[in-house]
Each structure stands twice: as structure tokens, then as C-alpha cells.
Structure 1
Amino acid sequence: MRLLHTSDWHLGRSFHRVSLLDAQQAFLDHLVATAREHHVDAVLVAGDIYDRAVPPLGAVRLFDDALHRLAALGIPTVMISGNHDSPRRLGVGAGLLQRAGIHLRTDPAHCATPLVLADRHGDVALYGLPYLEPALVRDEFGATAPGHPAVLGAALDRVRADLATRPAGTRSVVLAHAFVTGGQPSDSERDITVGGVSAVPASLFTGIDYVALGHLHGCQTLTDRLRYSGSPLAYSFSEADHRKSLWLVDLDAHGGVHAERLDCPVPRPLARLRGRLDTLLTDPALHPHESAWVEATLTDQIRPDEPMARLTHRFPHVLSLVFDPERPPDTHDGSYAERLTGRDDRQIAEDFVAHVRAGHRPDADERAALHAALDAARPRET
């Protein structure tokens, strides 16, 4: 059985106010072409189809087009809702779409109802577990403890109970949207700690042949049987070093897993540059990044004039500017109160300016302005 595992499309999301709809369209083109080229038996989409519960129309059009094209291939597609999706909105028309081979799993109550496919070795049961918010589904699963481990564990107990009723040798696949212990997060995932402990142990998935995970945006292998596909595009500069990809997974006759990473198209590379402004503008080693989306961290002790405009001349796609001035070693000992002892208001004010400007003390004009302000603020005797 050959499966194509993807997740975290986040249709409708932008990157630092730059629309990604064209890049998301290019990815969906690539997904359909890959499914066709590699003759996959099913496509697995492990949640966060959309970036928000009420997606923009452009994102809905992309999703609608993807559904039609996947259905036209005649390849079954299983999708679950993630923590960014609205389960009810995403699941509208699920019964009708199922007739076209699109299997939307957004209702927790149906998590133990699999799509059963067959190959020459027998049956493969594919279970879609939508994102389970503990506060909303605890009663449904009769969970005895708060948090994600309890509700996800209860859902998987139902899956294993259903598997036990099926013919011997039935292989199993689970789609889940969760933060599994050992996974490495990035800056672009929405925190799922609301409702209890967020991380769940990998041991919850014991007995499942392959687990197609979603939520974390970096492609990761927790075990041979537990994998994150990651997002197909970078959604934060923390993903600058990610290799965006899909998992092409082959299940053998005994549920053994062979997985291959297939690269996704990259609309524009990311670069995180750090240094003084003059260095960033002149260093020839930075030439390869001139066409990238750039996050620039300036280390100048004094904030330069018009840094964004000047950077844009060399890096037309600079999107983020961070200031982190180099600071001299701190030679002060003792507490803050001890360091103020014996110093007048003028010295304290000048020291504060030097502190916030990475050691650069006020010049003569600035000192005069500070002293005048302090004099004006002092109460006058009447």
C-alpha cells in the first residue's frame, strides 16, 4: 500500500504580509502531480488545511480546486481537521464528498470508523483522528483526566477496539494532529496548551503500523512508524533551515514501513542575516541571499538612519528588521540600588541612556537636553 502523507497547508496564510496564495497553488499542483506520478493508493492530509476557522475566499477556492483534482485522479484522500480549522465548516458536505473519494474526518465521535482499502496483501484500515480539544471532547470520550494525553489516548483505545474486530493481518494507519513528545516546534505553530498538557507520549500509538502526524511544521521522524510531514511552505523565519517535503510511504505485507522524502517547490528561499548595517550592505559573501526573503538583525550600537530603506537596495525582499545591539561586557557589580548610591539624577539619567544604547553615552548636546529636562522637572520652591 503506497501512501502520500502531507499536512499543515494553512491555506490563506501570508508571510510577513506577503500573500502566499500563488505558492500554495504551486504546492497543490505539485501534490496532485506527485500522487499521479507515484501511483499512490491514498493521500493523507493530517490537519490544518486552512490557517483560520473562517478562511478567505482565495483559500476556499484553492481547497475546492484541490478536492476536484484529487477526486478526478480516483485516488482516495483522507483529511482531518487541525487546531486552525473549524471542524464544522471543513466537514460540510462530508457525506457527499465521500462518494467522490474525499474522506473528511472532522467529527471526534467517528474517529474509530476507518476507510478500509485493500491491496494484494489484504486490508488496510485508515483512521482519521481530528484535532481533539480536551475541554470540548472530554465528555465524548469519557476521559478521566484533563489534557491531550487523556483524550487522545481514549480515541486510540477506540481505534484499537475496532481493529480487534477486523480480520487478522489488517494493517492500520492513523492520522492525528497533535504535539508528540520529542517533536521539534518552530515559531509558526499555534500553541495548543489551552485545555491541559499539550504534549502526548509516542507510546499512545502502540500497535499502529503508521501514524501520519500533523501540527509541527518541520518534517520529522520520531520513529519509523511516527512521522511529521511538516508544512509544505515556510511560515516563519525559524523555518529557514527546513527542507519542505512530503512523505511517500510504502506499507509492506506485515505493516513494515519504507518512507521516502519528496521535496516541495520553494517559492523563495529564506535568509536570517545578522551584523552591522554596513557589513550587511557590502559583504560579498551575502550575494546568494539577495533574492531571498530576509530577516535582518542589526547589531550596530547606535540605530542607523533609514535601515530598512538602505537594506532594500541590496535585498529587495527584506521583510523583517530586528535590532540587537552589541553590548560591551557588563563591569558593574552589586545590586541596582548599590550602583545608584552616591550618584545624582544627571549621572543616573546619563547611565540609563548608555544602557539602552549598548554603552554609547550621550554626547554634549544630548547631555544638555537631559540636564534641562531634569531641571524643568524639579519642583520649584514657593
Structure 2
Amino acid sequence: MKLLLFADLHLDTQFASAGPARRQALRDTLGRIVNLAEESHVDAVLCAGDLYEHDRCSPSTASFLQSAFDCSLPVFLAPGNDDWYGAESVYQQVDWTPNVHVFSAGCLTPVELVDGVTLWGAAHVGPGPTRDFLDGFAVNRSGVNLALCHGSAPEDVAITGLDHAFLGHVHTPEHAAHYTFPGNPDPLTSDETGERGAVLCTVNEDGTVSREVFDVSAARSLGLVAEASDAFPLLDFDSVAAERTVRGQFVRDVLADPSLDTALRGRVLSAGLRALEER
């Protein structure tokens, strides 16, 4: 079977570089993920937590997520420590369509994907540090057993009886024999490295998993992820756009900044002007 995995999208992110256009790009990235899933005819979409940030969630996020996941595919969501499950969470505010399953227990609970394939999922049920849901867990059923959760220690997978764990929280992608960290699909800072994106996972009959990574980043394709330096931190282009009523003022400010070398000045101008044009 085929599963499309992602994690750590961080809608409504706290990062300083996230102005309105950057936040919209994160929403567009989720749209790309769902479109990719439908085009690839996967059996389900998996999110391993930190889909959004609870403390900074905008009023429109709930309706956006409801609409985004109203699709033809099963969707499984495992809340993380930033988008924890609780009475005040978006997960309980949304009237999800029947294809969406939100794991709500603080321990791994099973859902049968198809005959002989079980997905075990868990949720953070309050704010705080990440938990190791695999600690003390043991598979008690036959067939292929998979896990979906946020923040567990990957070295525990082999001793649980699980065939593979799909994990979130770590933003650097890591693909190992028994676990997958997809990394965040859209870079939140300029120094994040690795082949990140949505990961198309093919689960074989023996429980092994083969993977293919797809770049779905809307922000990166729009040039909204700029490099930073100590002298010139990541620029909130949308704040600049709001403060400058004249496009040329932005250009003059960048050109006049003595801290920018030629290469960085060109990148800042390119990304900033593009963001101004999109407003």
C-alpha cells in the first residue's frame, strides 16, 4: 500500500520571517500535499504532528483545515506538542469530514488500514515537551504494524514489534530501516538542510518501506525563504511591504544597507520585490 507522510508544517508559525505571504505559502504547501496524494492515488495521508501552532492559531485556521482535508482519501492526524489535542484545540473545533481520523489518546491505539495492516497512532493531549510513545509499548497483533506519532525515540522501534514508525518533531529528514522522519515540508528558517518534503511511502507485504520525497514547498518556489547573516537577519518582507507605501523605498533601503554583500543584497531584493508584487 502507498501512504503519503508529512509532519511539522507549523501553520501560524512563530518564526520571525513569517509575514502574511509566508503564512499563506504554508497553507498552499498543505494544498500541494493533498493534491499530490490524490494524483498519486495513495491509500491514506499521514501527518505526524505540529500541523499548526496552538498558541498562535488564527481564527481561520480551523475552517481552512476542514476544507483542506475534505478530500477523497483517508487522512490520519497525530497531534504533536505544538498542536496538542484538547478541549480548546482546533482538532475538537472542526467538524471533520468522515475521511479524517484524529488520534486523541495519549497512548498508541490501533486503526486497521486494510486487512493485515494496522496503524497505531497517539496524540499529545496537552502542552509540554515531546513524549516517547514507544517506551513500554509492544505490538499485540499479527500482520504489518505501523506507528504514527510525534517525538518518539526511533531506537525504540525495533524492540516494540512495529515494522515501521512514521515520526514527527525532528525537522531534519531521516530515513532509516524502521522509521521515517520526513522533516518539515516547507523550511521555516534558511539554515534547515536535507531533502525535505512529502514522503511517498510504499509499504511492502513484509513490512519494509520504500520512500520517495517530493518537494511541495510553496514558500521556496516563491522565493520567500531568504538566507540570513548575523548582520542582516531574515527579513519579514510583509512588514516591509506594510510600512513602505512606495515600492522604490524598499529598493533604496536595501541598496543603502552597508552590511549586505552583493550576493545577499541580490537575494533580498529578489525575494522582497516578489513578495511586494504578490500583495
Aligned to 2:216: 264
* Alpha-carbon contact 1:296-1:318 (below 8 Å) kept: no
Amino acid at match of 2:61: A
Of the three residues 102, 123, 127, the one matched with 2:116 is 123
Q: 1:318 to 1:177 in 2, by over 3 A?
A: same
TM-score by structure 1 length?
0.55
| CA distance in structure 2 between the aligned counterparts of 1:126 and 1:52, rounded to whole angstroms | 25
* Equivalent residue for 1:43, pick from 37, 42, 45: 45
Structure 2: gaps spanning 5 or more residues: 233-252, 273-279
Shift of 1:62: 2.7
Change (3 A) 1:256 1:12: same
TM superposition shift of 1:93: 6.3
Q: From the superposition, tell whether residues 296 and 131 of structure 1 become closer, same or farther in structure 2 (CA, over 3 Å).
A: same
CA contact (8 A) 1:294 1:318 kept: no
Correspondence for 1:238: 191
Contact 1:3–1:250 under 8 Å retained in 2: yes
Task: Tell me by how many angstroms 1:134 deviates.
Answer: 11
Equivalents in 2 of 1:174, 1:152: separation in Å?
A: 9
SS of residue paired to 1:63 = helix
Partner of 2:17: 16
2:172 aligns to what? 218
Match of 2:30? 28
Q: Give the aligned residue type for 2:12.
A: G
* CA distance in structure 2 between the partners assigned to 1:82 and 1:266 by the alignment: 23
Q: Distance in 1 between matches of 2:158 and 2:62?
A: 34
Q: Please state whether the residue corresponding to 2:121 is helix, strand or coil.
A: strand
Task: Check 1:57–1:37 CA distance in 2 against 1; reply closer, same or farther (3 A cut).
Answer: same
C-alpha separation between the residues in 1 aligned to 2:207 and 2:195?
Answer: 27
Give me the identity figure in percent.
23
Give per-residue Cα distances to partners, 1:236-285, cap 9 Å, x unaligned: 2321x333211111112221211111222342379xxxxxxxxxxxxxxx
Distance of 1:55 and 1:11 partners within structure 2:
8
For residue 11 of structure 1, report the CA deviation from its aligned partner.
0.8
Computed over aligned residues only, the root mean square deviation of the Cα atoms, in angstroms, reads 3.3
CA contact (8 A) 1:294 1:317 kept: no
1:1-382 equivalence runs, <5 A: 1-13=1-13, 14-19=15-20, 20-53=22-55, 55-68=57-70, 72-73=71-72, 75-88=73-86, 89-92=89-92, 97=96, 100-108=98-106, 111-112=108-109, 114-118=110-114, 122-131=115-124, 148-149=131-132, 152-154=134-136, 156-157=137-138, 160-161=139-140, 163=141, 168=142, 170-178=143-151, 180=153, 201-203=155-157, 206-221=160-175, 223-239=176-192, 241-268=193-220, 293-298=226-231, 309-310=256-257, 311=260, 314=266, 315-316=268-269
Deviations 1:158-179 (A, max 9, x none): xx13x2xxxx4x2111012115
CA offset digits 1:181-203 (Å, max 9, x no partner): 6xxxxxxxxxxxxxxxxxxx335
Aligned to 1:316, the other structure's residue is in SS state helix
Aligned residues of 1:269 and 1:293 also touching (Cα < 8 A): no
Which residue identity lines up with residue 62 of structure 1 in the other structure? F
The runs of 5 or more residues in structure 1 that have no matched partner are 137-146, 182-200, 271-288, 300-305, 320-382
Quick one: structure 1 residues 64 and 205, their matched pair in 2 at CA, closer, same or farther if it must change by over 3 Å?
Answer: farther
Q: Distance in 2 between matches of 1:134 and 1:35?
A: 30
- Matched residues in 1 for 2:28 and 2:18: separation? 19
Whole-angstrom distance in 1 between the partners of 2:105 and 2:90 = 10
Deviation at 1:31, TM superposition (A): 0.9
Alignment: residue pair count: 242
Do 2:185 and 2:197's aligned partners in 1 also have CA atoms closer than 8 Å? Answer: yes
- Deviation at 1:318? 8.2
Mapped partners of 1:308, 1:38: distance in 2: 45
> Which structure has the bigger radius of gyration?
1
The CA deviation at 1:3 is: 0.6
- Pick 1 or 2: higher relative contact order, CA cutoff 8 A, min separation 6: 2
Give, in angstroms, the shift of residue 216 of structure 1.
0.9
Question: Secondary structure, in 3 states, of the residue corresponding to 2:32?
Answer: helix
Structure holding more helix per residue: 1
Residue 16 of structure 1 aligns with an amino acid whose one-letter code is: S
